[in-house]
């Protein structure tokens, strides 16, 4: 039943306005839409990321975006002043509220690129 249902992430934030600026200005999402006491950010393929003011900011689990070109996105994140940790087909960074966020490339593509690198070596 849930397999074909859309999935939406809720990210806890301690300062809604600071989070709005980070997600709109740094990550280029938005514009945000107020939804009751929260902010909704449109993402790809009809999905949404919801920011909700909470004392749990910075302690939540990791939310991620699936991307086509991980190298390109990591370079872009660096250009926005973010520190990025990368392992395999995933790269992590922290948002303005201390939440751990990630971008994930397609594992099959990452393996294919790695195979080409090994053959070329």
Digit-coded pLDDT (tens) for 46-77: 888 888 888 888 887 778 888 889 999 999 99
Q: Which of 58, 18, 19, 61 is nearest to 41 (CA)?
A: 19
Query: Which residues lie across from 56 on neighbouring strands?
Result: none
Q: Which of 48, 11, 22, 53 is nearest to 33 (CA)?
A: 48
On whether the CB atoms of residues 22 and 15 are closer than 8 A, the answer is: no
| C-alpha–C-alpha distance, residues 41 and 51, integer Å | 8
Please say if the pLDDT value at position 81 is more than 80: yes
Give me the residue spans of the domains in the chain: 2-120
**CATH code for residues 2-120:** 3.10.180.10
pLDDT of residue 108: 54
pTM of the shown model: 0.67
């Amino acid at each position: 039943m849930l397999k074909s249902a859309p999935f939406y992430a809720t990210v806890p934030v301690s300062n809604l306005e600071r989070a709005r600026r980070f997600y709109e200005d740094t990550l280029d999402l938005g514009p945000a839409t107020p939804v009751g006491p929260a902010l909704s950010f449109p993402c790809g393929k009809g999905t949404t990321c919801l920011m909700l003011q909470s004392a749990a900011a910075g302690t939540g689990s990791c939310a991620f975006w699936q991307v086509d070109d991980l190298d390109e996105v990591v370079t872009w994140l660096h250009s926005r002043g973010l520190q990025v940790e990368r392992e395999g087909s995933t790269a992590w960074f922290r948002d303005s509220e201390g939440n751990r966020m990630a971008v994930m490339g397609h594992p099959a593509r990452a393996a294919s690129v790695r195979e080409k690198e090994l053959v070329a070596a």
